[in-house]
Chain A
Amino acid sequence: MPLSPEEVRHVALLARLGLEPGDEEIYAERLSGILQHIDRLQELNTDAIPPTAQVVEVAATLREDEPRPCLTQEEALANAPAAVDGFFRVPSIQEEA
């Protein structure tokens, strides 16, 4: 089924991807084409088939919870686009009351 412009806008917001002029049409067209191919999965009856999320049999490993050396604050912030007083700086996340 083709994606509607509303669906494209909804998914773009979920994905935190801005939309520029022309994007909606491109996504709708290209994604619909791919989804059309993907829809062939519905031909298979998988009612009795368990899903595979992880393909090898590896047991979860545990380790002692001991302090170890890690990045310094300076190293961790070295690539930050904006840092202040040892913190990452971000735009405001709350409207002023």
Chain B
Amino acid sequence: MDPTHLTISELRRLLDERELSARELLGLHLERIEAADTDVKAFLRLTSEHAARQAEAADRALKEGTAGPLAGIPMAVKDVLCVKGIETTAGSQILRGFKPPYTGTAVQRLFDAGAVMIGVTNCDEFAMGSSTENSSYFPTHNPWALDRVPGGSSGGSAAAVAAGEAVYSLGTDTGGSIRQPAALCGVIGMKPTYGRVSRYGLIAFASSLDQIGPFTRSVEDCALVLQTMAGHDPLDSTSANRPNDVSRSLHDGVDKMRLGVPREYFDVEGMEPGVRAAVDKALHTLEAAGAELVEVSLPHTDYGLAAYYIIAPAECSSNLARFDGVKYGLSEQDVQNITEAYMKTRRKGFGAEVRRRVMLGTYALSSGYYDAYYLKAQKVRTLIKQDFDDAFARCDAIVSGTSPTVAFPLGSRTQDPLSMYLCDVLTLGGNLAGLPGISVPCGMSEGLPVGLQVLAPQWREDVALRVARAYEVASDMRVEVALVD
């Protein structure tokens, strides 16, 4: 099989047995990118020289027997994770040209394990969006249907893995930005528990929600990449000092596990019948593999979107205050005073959706509205978390669709922000409650991939991965590479 279609563990065997060198593997991926990325546009920037140095080091380590678990495997990084000396812009014009003076912890841990970084992937500006159309550079195209979106905000990272341009990639998930594009591109994507992975070096969007996670072609690969990145980091005080044991029950199967089916997640607005049918079939597969399906209720589901669209914009308006045209990035210098400099720089540097969210968040936090909006949303967040606590008292994990729809046509939702926000209706609860969640491909609808979401209690990535792995085995699922002649 073409090496650009393989998983990390399969490629590692080839590398260990010297059937392929890391340099050769890198070359094959660069060729694939050259062939496919003029159509897909997953990458904002390639880092070929950087990758060549890492591949050479990997080949040496493989020869000397000192290779780390990810040695020689080409990967891609979303444009919100700082890598020293490599332009990182959060998909925004306001950071054009910014070269971070340091590398973030999650990426550094992968580098230390031998990773070969091949490029920087496209995303919605500051990770705000569900289609990657809010990138200030260009939209990314879904490798399964080039006239459709890859999902977002980590659309470039999902599309790169789906198109065989990278073996795995990193994204970030604030309301569904890993799981939803994973579903729409037919790959695996995981958002860890809030606090599992250090965010040092991540350009912040909404600090009480953001997490970094992987896109991969197998559940085993997902566990490996997560395990490598996870764990306490003194440089991020929100990273938890907890046992890092996400892989411990990966192959235990679902026999006798109780899987919660929240009826509210099957009746959401805009749920496509084809998606529902594919998810129902996946639930039957899990049941046939020995799981017990139990009905659970998440009664505040209808309020999740409203709470999220106060909390996330409020936090973004605060986080994005740092983009002032003084320390880095775009700067409007032809001004009379500092306030004018701020206002001109930010108007010019931020795109329409980012400005809309900064405005919304500022309004929700402003004097006279704080109690009615921000405080209210935080209280509703408590109710939503309580819903999940109650559900997990009755089941080990919650299963549902990841996105109510398959990939939609480019341009079809950009004029109506609320219709775009509804893409995240099944994923954002996991962020509000801090839960780990994974999306695995579970068939097709209208010729496009559908995702099955597994949510687990906080710190129980092992449970989510175990269910996902059991589904992968029971359904004989293999992530396919799209856009192959």
Contacts and interface: CB of A to CB of B under 8 A. Distances in A.
Chains A and B bind each other? yes
B376 interface: yes
Contact of B346 (A17, A33, A50): A17
B382 A51 contact: yes
Contacts of A41: 303, 306-307, 310, 373, 376-377, 380
A97 to B, nearest CB: 15
Interface string A19-56: 11000001100110111011111111010011111111
Interface in B379-401: 379-383, 385
B359 A82 contact: no
Interface stretch (B16-24, B117-125, B237-245, B286-294): B237-245
Interface in B312-346: 317, 321, 324-331, 333, 335-344, 346
B355 A17 contact: yes
A38 B328 CA distance: 35
A55 B102 CA distance: 29
Contacts of A14: 362, 366
B337 A52 contact: no
A17 B329 contact: no
Contacts of A75: 101
A84 interface: no
Contacts of A91: 333, 335-338, 340-341
B342 to A, nearest CB: 4
Given A38-B373, A52-B382, A90 B241 contact: no
Interface in B231-251: 234, 237-238, 240-241
A63 B237 CA distance: 10
Interface in A52-83: 52-56, 58, 60-61, 63, 71, 75-76, 78-82
Contacts of B237: 60-61
Interface in B268-313: 300, 302-303, 305-307, 309-310
Interface residues of B, number: 75
Interface in B410-462: 417-418, 421, 432-434, 458
A46 B359 contact: no
B418 A16 contact: no
B470 interface: no
Given A15-B358, A30-B417, A33-B417, A44 B326 contact: no
Q: Could you tell me the dominant secondary structure of chain A's interface residues?
A: loop
B49 to A, nearest CB: 19
A20 to B, nearest CB: 6
Contacts of A86: none
B193 interface: yes
Nearest to B339: A16
Contacts of A76: 101
Contact of A18 (B327, B344, B362): B344
Contact of B359 (A17, A33, A80): A17
B194 interface: yes
A59 to B, nearest CB: 9
B360 interface: yes
Nearest to A46: B379
Nearest to A39: B306
Given A34-B418, A60-B237, A55 B379 contact: no
Nearest to A27: B359
Nearest to B95: A79
Interface of A: 3, 7-8, 10-20, 26-27, 30-31, 33-35, 37-44, 46, 49-56, 58, 60-61, 63, 71, 75-76, 78-82, 88, 90-93, 95
16 contacts: A3-B363, A11-B359, A11-B362, A11-B366, A12-B359, A17-B355, A18-B344, A18-B348, A31-B356, A31-B363, A38-B310, A44-B300, A46-B382, A52-B378, A53-B208, A81-B326
Given A15-B359, A93-B338, 18 more contacts: A3-B363, A11-B359, A16-B321, A17-B343, A17-B347, A31-B360, A33-B417, A34-B360, A41-B307, A50-B382, A52-B382, A55-B194, A80-B326, A80-B327, A80-B328, A81-B326, A91-B333, A91-B340
